[in-house]
Amino acid sequence: MERPVRIAVVGATDDRLVGELRRLPLAPEVRPLGSLLEDSEALARFQPDLLLVVFGSAADEEVGAVRLLQKLWPALGVVVVAAADRELALAPLAQCLGARLLVHPGPPGQLAATLEQVLHGGDRPRPEVFVDLAHGLADEINNPLMFASGHLQLLRASFDPGVERERERIAQVDAVAAGLDRVRAAVDRLRLLSQAAAGPRRREPVDLAALVTQAIASRANASAAATVAMPPGPHEVPGDLEQLRAMVTALLRFADEVATLGANAHLVLDVLPNARRLRLRASGPALAAWQLPRTFEPFYPQRAMRGHAHGIGLFLAQTVALGHRGQAVVRRQPDGALQFDFVLPI
């Protein structure tokens, strides 16, 4: 069993940050300390994987202490925590240390996303940059899409189904309309993604097992599909039904498309003490070249799986999980398999 991630929170932080860290579904071991300088021995005994630091009045000395720790523990991840009014002032300092800047308090999911990125590398922009891009794309596409759909309906209505030649044209128009429906569905997914980053719009008990069963029933092609396992009984989490349904559907669709590459793909719904976890394990030659942590960058899997239409499914699943104050984690296992974990608190 993997040990919990150890996180040291140093400086004059409020209790909310420590509380949010301890409530993360994967239950990290969190230790608040008052000072980098005065609590150096306790910090050395704790040997954290992550250091979250709030710089005080003695910032120069504290920066020196952080640099020393980075030399002693090269794998140590460092996050500089700042209130919104100090973000601009502390950004150059964080960059100088090679640290991530975390504005706290922030939107749901920001804390978990920042920690995961610092733990496992990657220099991509913050997730909200991609979320804003998704929202902008949806707005940009929607107006011409509605215009084209309206004119297509008028064109279809102008044909006489009693004339054979015009029946052929109706069939052609219907084929184009089906293509526009796929574009409309993609726009809807982009809109849902941008909404999910802000967290659930409404909360109700949602049975993940029922959503998995529904996603299985709606599979387009079950001939080359991922295997699925889950314990009996309902497995409820509080959240937004529409967002969680989209998350489960996107994840199963992605698993099935991995299976069509000839990989082994197995999706499991697990029960954890304070959470429910959807775990996808995938292995095969087609996945050997995947780079981590780029797997969770929105469009990277599309580059690795050309000819497949999963699009932003992984990013949608990640955004929903983080928006529900859960976690989304991907790991390369010792046997070479990829393991995707989407964890939702109960």
β-pairing, 50-53 with 100-103?
A: unpaired
Partner residues linked to 207 by β-bridges: 236
How far is it, in rounded angstroms, from Cα 261 to Cα 309? 13
Q: Are residues 242 and 314 in the same domain?
A: yes
| Cα torsion through 271, 276, 282, 288, rounded to 10 | -120
Output the pLDDT for position 88.
Answer: 84
Residue 285 within any structural domain of the chain: yes
Q: Are residues 245 and 319 in the same domain?
A: yes
**Which tokens is 90 given?**
């502390």
Q: Are residues 272 and 311 in the same domain?
A: yes
Tell which of 168, 196, 224 closes a domain: 196
Give CA 219 to chain center in angstroms. 23
Q: Are residues 191 and 217 in the same domain?
A: no
Single out the residue of 328, 264, 263 nearest to residue 296, CA to CA.
328
Q: How does DSSP classify residue 1? A: -
Residue 1 within any structural domain of the chain: no
CATH number at residue 301: 3.30.565.10
Residue 58 within any structural domain of the chain: yes
Residue 112 within any structural domain of the chain: no
How far is it, in rounded angstroms, from Cα 102 to Cα 116? 12
pTM comes to 0.69
Residue 120 within any structural domain of the chain: no
Number of folded domains in the chain?
Answer: 3
Element (H, E) at 329: strand 327-332
Residue 119 within any structural domain of the chain: no
Output the pLDDT for position 1.
Answer: 46
Residue 115 within any structural domain of the chain: no
Radius of gyration over alpha carbons of the chain, in Å? Answer: 24
Q: Are residues 261 and 304 in the same domain?
A: yes
Tell which of 149, 180, 196 closes a domain: 196
Output the pLDDT for position 213.
Answer: 92
Domain coverage including residue 301 = 204-345
CATH number at residue 102: 3.40.50.2300
Q: Are residues 339 and 225 in the same domain?
A: yes
How far is it, in rounded angstroms, from Cα 287 to Cα 172? 39
Residue 282 within any structural domain of the chain: yes
Give the 3-state DSSP-derived string for 279-320, with helices as H, strands as E and coil as C.
Answer: EEEEECHHHCCCCCCHHHCCCHHHHHCCCCCCCCHHHHHHHH
Q: Are residues 182 and 305 in the same domain?
A: no
Q: Are residues 341 and 219 in the same domain?
A: yes
Burial class (CB in 10 A: 0-12, 13-18, 19+), 16: exposed
Tell which of 138, 164, 196 closes a domain: 196
Output the pLDDT for position 269.
Answer: 94
The whole-number mean pLDDT for each consecutive block of 10 residues of the chain, a chain of 346 residues, reads 80 81 85 83 86 78 83 85 84 83 82 79 57 67 78 84 82 84 75 77 92 88 79 90 92 87 89 90 82 68 54 81 87 87 90
Give CA 81 to chain center in angstroms. 22
Q: Are residues 161 and 239 in the same domain?
A: no
